[in-house]
Amino acid sequence: MKVIAFNGSPRIEGNTELLLKATIEPIEEAGHEVRVFRLNFMKIKPCQDCGGCEKTGLCIIKDDMEEIYNAIREAERVILASPIFFYGLSAQSKIMIDRCQSFWCEKYLLKRPIPSGPSGRKGLLILVGGMKNDRGIDCAEASAKAFFRTISIQEHDVLSFKGVDAKGAILEHPTALKEGQEAGKRLIS
């Protein structure tokens, strides 16, 4: 099964990365290769709304999104992991998502949705926020849901933790890593 994961956190060994690692562990143990894109370290320009993708479904900007486009097309499982920044997804996550406007054009204007593949397509959203309220989680999930539907993922699971702020604090959470592992197992079941 082809599994890809987006890490939208700039913090190395931060909460998102640690939780993502725990989630990926059982997937790799089951023999599936997981390709992780650390968005903060990639060269990805924001969408220019140039309309270049409207007739072809292809983005005209040539940068690191090219490898992501191919990976999304082939993926059967997609994990999006992001910290909550200003009540939404991190900029690193959002820039990548906005560039998927080309898939939106392909699906809705050109009527060519990404095909399902042998094991279907499923998503997992992982969110970590420092605040104790749900608003940031809800806003981030709305964007992520639009992303998943655009890339023809009809079904996604959500794993979110609030009140987790300091670097590495997720390790002190009583259930987070275990819940990550369980979500990873469910994703490939």
Ligand X SMILES: Cc1cc2nc3c(=O)[nH]c(=O)nc-3n(C[C@H](O)[C@H](O)[C@H](O)COP(=O)(O)O)c2cc1C
| Binder of ligand X out of 25, 157, 165, 182 (CB under 6 A) | 165
| Binder of ligand X out of 84, 125, 126, 183 (CB under 6 A) | 84
Q: Residue 163 to residues 52, 127, 130, 133, 141: CA-CA distances in angstroms?
A: 41, 11, 4, 8, 17
Contacts with ligand X in 93-122 (CB under 6 A)?
A: none
Contacts with ligand X in 123-152 (CB under 6 A)?
A: 128-131, 136
- Decide if 64 contacts 44 (C-beta within 8 A): yes
Task: Work out whether 167 is an interface residue with ligand X (CB under 6 A).
Answer: yes
- Decide if 93 contacts 78 (C-beta within 8 A): no
Residue with tokens 């490898």: 67
DSSP 102-171: HHHIIIIIS--PPP--TT--EEEEEEE-SSSSSHHHHHHHHHHHHHHHHTT--EEEEEEE-S--STTGGG
Task: Work out whether 87 is an interface residue with ligand X (CB under 6 A).
Answer: yes
Nearest approach, Cβ of residue 142 and ligand X (Å): 14
Give 14 or 26: the residue with its C-beta nearer to ligand X.
14
Strand pairing report for 34-38 and 88-89? unpaired
Give 9 or 152: the residue with its C-beta nearer to ligand X.
9
| Binder of ligand X out of 83, 123, 180, 184 (CB under 6 A) | 83
Nearest approach, Cβ of residue 86 and ligand X (Å): 5
Stretches 28-36, 106-114, 161-169, 176-184: which one binds ligand X (CB under 6 A)? Answer: 161-169
- Decide if 9 contacts 40 (C-beta within 8 A): yes
Contacts with ligand X in 5-34 (CB under 6 A)?
A: 9, 11, 14-16
Strand pairing report for 77-85 and 3-7? parallel
Q: Which residues bind ligand X (CB under 6 A)?
A: 9, 11, 14-16, 83-87, 128-131, 136, 164-165, 167
